[in-house]
Amino acid sequence: MAEVSDNVVQGNAAGDEPAAERMSVLAVVALVLGVLSVFSCPVPVLGLSLGLFAGVLGLLALWRVSRSKEKMRGKTPAIVGTVLGTLAFLFGVVMIVGITMFVKAAYRYAEPMLALQSGKVEEARVVFAQAASAQLTDEVSKDFLTRVEAQLGKYKGGPTDLIDFAKQAYDRVSVQGAALSNVPSTTNEVPYPLPVDFEKGEALLIVILDQREANAQFQYGKITNIGVTRVGVADIVWLFPIDSAKKNGGAGPTLIPESGGKF
């Protein structure tokens, strides 16, 4: 009996008692990233990326904890991090898809620039509201392009991806704030500035949309006027000057305070 007692004492002294559970580092990291991903949701790309990492690390932490045979803890933070990360990831996906669809729809209103530049006035008229379409003649188109190309050269197009669109829109609208403040809007006619590029520099294409003529094809309305302003220049070159609109009974946009088509 003495030998048995000695063995028990020796065994306990040798550290045969179960070791204390330790916290999973992956679980803690997943929780932190999950919380950060939720707070980063206003920036869809960042929120989506952090959410993805949080979800993956959370699942990996759960797998490690389950295989540790109770030597590791951290299921709760791992689960919370995974859930938060997944929600942030899904929110980011929805936001990016939604913004991408908006950008794609918005740049349909830049297509008339290419059509006019190619001499396809009839094709451009499809995007214009009824009254503005009636005013859009070959002569009006040529005069507009002459004034635009004198400042900016040929139209090249807009940004090709979401990140470029967001950056260019923010930067250019900030710079052109003074010029844009002179663009009037009404309940039915709303201006939309789109970042675009020309041969001679960066610009904003301002489309005035009549929301009363919105349809399935043109969700935000149809164009009543188009303006182009070069970044760093206060002038806006408009397709329809105010005098032209007044000659048609005021049916068109009345945006220009002078016949030259500029502010």
* Sequence spans of domains, the chain: 2-105, 118-247
CA distance 26 to 149: 58
More confident residue, 205 or 5: 205
**What pLDDT is stored for residue 143 in this prediction?**
92
**What is the DSSP secondary-structure string of 139-203?**
HHHHHHHHHHHHHH-SEEE--SSHHHHHHHHHHHHHHTHHHHTT----SSEEEEEEEEEETTEEE
In this structure, the number of other CB atoms found within 10 A of the CB of residue 202 comes to 17
Beta carbons of 139 and 121 less than 8 angstroms apart:
no
**What pLDDT is stored for residue 102 in this prediction?**
80
**What pLDDT is stored for residue 107 in this prediction?**
82
CA distance 86 to 71: 27
Q: Are strands 189-198 and 22-23 parallel, antiparallel or unpaired?
A: unpaired
Q: Are strands 237-238 and 201-210 parallel, antiparallel or unpaired?
A: unpaired
Q: Is the pLDDT of residue 250 over 70?
A: no
Q: Is the pLDDT of residue 258 over 60?
A: no
DSSP H helical ranges for 25-180: 25-39, 44-66, 75-106, 111-117, 121-125, 130-135, 138-152, 162-175, 177-180
When the pLDDT of each residue in the chain is averaged and rounded to a whole number, the result is 80
Quick one: pLDDT band at residue 16, thresholds 50, 70, 90? low
Q: Is the pLDDT of residue 8 over 60?
A: no
More confident residue, 61 or 185: 61
Q: What is the pLDDT of residues 189-212, one digit of tens each?
A: 888 888 999 998 889 998 898 888
Q: Is the pLDDT of residue 31 over 50?
A: yes
**What pLDDT is stored for residue 243 in this prediction?**
40
Residues of the chain above pLDDT 70, percent: 84
Q: Is the pLDDT of residue 252 over 80?
A: no
The distance in angstroms from the start CA to the end CA of the chain is: 106
| 3-state SS class at 255 | coil
**What pLDDT is stored for residue 166 in this prediction?**
80
Q: What is the pLDDT of residues 146-164, one digit of tens each?
A: 999 998 999 988 887 777 7
Q: What is the pLDDT of residues 116-147, one digit of tens each?
A: 998 899 999 988 988 899 999 999 999 999 99
**Residue that is written with structure tokens 């951290």 in the block:** 74
| 3-state SS class at 111 | helix
Quick one: pLDDT band at residue 217, thresholds 50, 70, 90? confident
**What pLDDT is stored for residue 34 in this prediction?**
92
Q: Is the pLDDT of residue 27 over 50?
A: yes
Quick one: pLDDT band at residue 88, thresholds 50, 70, 90? very high
Beta carbons of 54 and 5 less than 8 angstroms apart:
no
Q: Which amino acid is at 66?
A: S
101-127 burial: b if 16+ Cβ within 10 Å, else e: eebeebbebbebbebbbeeebeebbeb
Q: Among the listed ranges 15-24, 69-78, 154-163, 235-244, which one has the minimum average pLDDT value?
A: 15-24
Q: Is the pLDDT of residue 3 over 70?
A: no
CA distance 207 to 211: 12
**What pLDDT is stored for residue 6 in this prediction?**
41
